[in-house]
Amino acid sequence: MPAFNFQKRFAERVRAGVKCQTIRTRRKHPPRVGQTAYLYVGLRATGTEKLGEGVIWRVRTLLIQDGAVYLEGKLLDGVDLFSFAQADGFADVNAFRLFFGHNFDGHCVEWRAA
Say which CATH number the domain at 91 has. 2.30.130
Percent of the chain with pLDDT over 70: 100
Whole-model pTM: value is 0.93
State the DSSP H helix or E strand holding residue 31, giving kind and residue range, or none if neither.
Answer: none
> Which letter, b or e, does each residue of 52-69 get, where b requires 16 or more Cβ atoms within 10 Å of its Cβ?
bebebeebeebebeeeeb
**In the predicted model, what is the mean pLDDT of residues 32-42?**
97
User: What pLDDT does 44 receive?
Assistant: 80
Domain total for the chain?
1
User: What pLDDT does 1 receive?
Assistant: 83
Per the structure, the complete domain to which residue 100 belongs is given by 3-113
User: What pLDDT does 70 receive?
Assistant: 98
Rounded distance between C-alpha atoms, residue 66 and residue 48, angstroms? 36
